[in-house]
Amino acid sequence: MLATRQLTFAYDPAKPFSFPDIQCADREALLILGRSGTGKTTLLHLLALLLQPQSGSVIINQTDLTQLSVAETAAFRAQHVGIVYQKPHFVSSLSVIDNLLMANYLANKPQNKARARELAGQLGFADYLGKKTNQMSQGEQQRVSIARAVMNQPDVILADEPTSSLDDENTARVVSLLRQQSEQIGASLIVVTHDQRLKDVFQNQVLLP
């Protein structure tokens, strides 16, 4: 479960952001829409406490992340939050499977190769596990990115424009994989996007003004 209360933030004091409260239960999906520059990525980074809000709270399960120290926040994020970035960031010198196992390492958990293989099978990149990520197409990399986000079975999955550079077929595939994974592990799924193709797919929506 993720909920926010009266979140505010400013890169520049002259341009403050004030975000609508959002709520997303376990196994639910929420789409956050808005034109370019309305603060979608900023909001997603606040939800992951990658940015510290000026005021307000971010609650995941029973924990108010804004009350945690920097070290506690980093540990909480690694264990409970899975992030799919707009452009996948991988360690290019490592293989696909080692990039997945990195999520275990960062969360201070034992390496779970069986889970990495299971996800690769489910998401359709089992043949790539030993390869480097730069040998994969963008759509394939996006699927690895989803697998990495769910390696530790997080409580919340945050996805930033996961489909903006994909064709219709890969968009449908990525959306269904995100939903399937969040339902399987019982996570809240929050997607921020300006991709109008997703409007008809998600029932719960928030529009940033």
Ligand X SMILES: Nc1ncnc2c1ncn2[C@@H]1O[C@H](COP(=O)(O)OP(=O)(O)OP(=O)(O)O)[C@@H](O)[C@H]1O
For residues 186, 188, 194, 198, the Cα torsion angle rounded to the nearest 10 degrees is 40
Are 30 and 188 in contact by the 8 Å Cβ rule? The answer is yes
Contacts of 140 (CB under 8 A, 6+ apart): 125, 128
Q: From residue 161, how far is each of 63, 132, 143, 166 by CA, in Å?
A: 26, 23, 13, 10
Q: Which is nearer to ligand X, 67 or 205 (CB)?
A: 205
Q: Which window, 32-40, 101-109, 115-123, 167-175, contacts ligand X (CB under 6 A)? A: 32-40
Query: Does position 11 bind ligand X by CB under 6 A?
Result: yes
Query: Does position 194 bind ligand X by CB under 6 A?
Result: yes
Among 41, 79, 122, 165, binds ligand X (CB under 6 A): 41
Query: Does position 173 bind ligand X by CB under 6 A?
Result: no
Q: Report d(CA 19, CA 26) in Å as an integer.
A: 21
Query: Does position 163 bind ligand X by CB under 6 A?
Result: no
Rounded to the nearest whole angstrom, what is the least distance from the CB of residue 43 to ligand X in the complex? 7
Q: What DSSP assignment string belongs to 43-103?
A: HHHHHTTSS--SEEEEEETTEEGGGS-HHHHHHHHHHHEEEE-SS----TTSBHHHHHHHH
Query: Does position 197 bind ligand X by CB under 6 A?
Result: no
Q: Report d(CA 155, CA 76) in Å as an integer.
A: 10
Query: Does position 36 bind ligand X by CB under 6 A?
Result: yes
Q: Which window, 29-37, 55-63, 140-148, 196-204, contacts ligand X (CB under 6 A)? A: 29-37
Q: From residue 116, how far is each of 50, 111, 149, 151, 205 by CA, in Å?
A: 25, 9, 11, 7, 31
Rounded to the nearest whole angstrom, what is the least distance from the CB of residue 4 to ligand X in the complex? 15
Query: Does position 38 bind ligand X by CB under 6 A?
Result: yes
Among 19, 28, 39, 206, binds ligand X (CB under 6 A): 39
Query: Does position 162 bind ligand X by CB under 6 A?
Result: no
Q: Which is nearer to ligand X, 9 or 90 (CB)?
A: 9
Count of residues of this chain found to bind ligand X when the rule CB under 6 A is applied: 10
Query: Does position 34 bind ligand X by CB under 6 A?
Result: yes
Contacts of 173 (CB under 8 A, 6+ apart): 139, 143
Q: Which is nearer to ligand X, 130 or 209 (CB)?
A: 209
Query: Does position 42 bind ligand X by CB under 6 A?
Result: yes
Please report, as ranges, the residues that interact with ligand X according to CB under 6 A: 11, 34, 36-42, 194
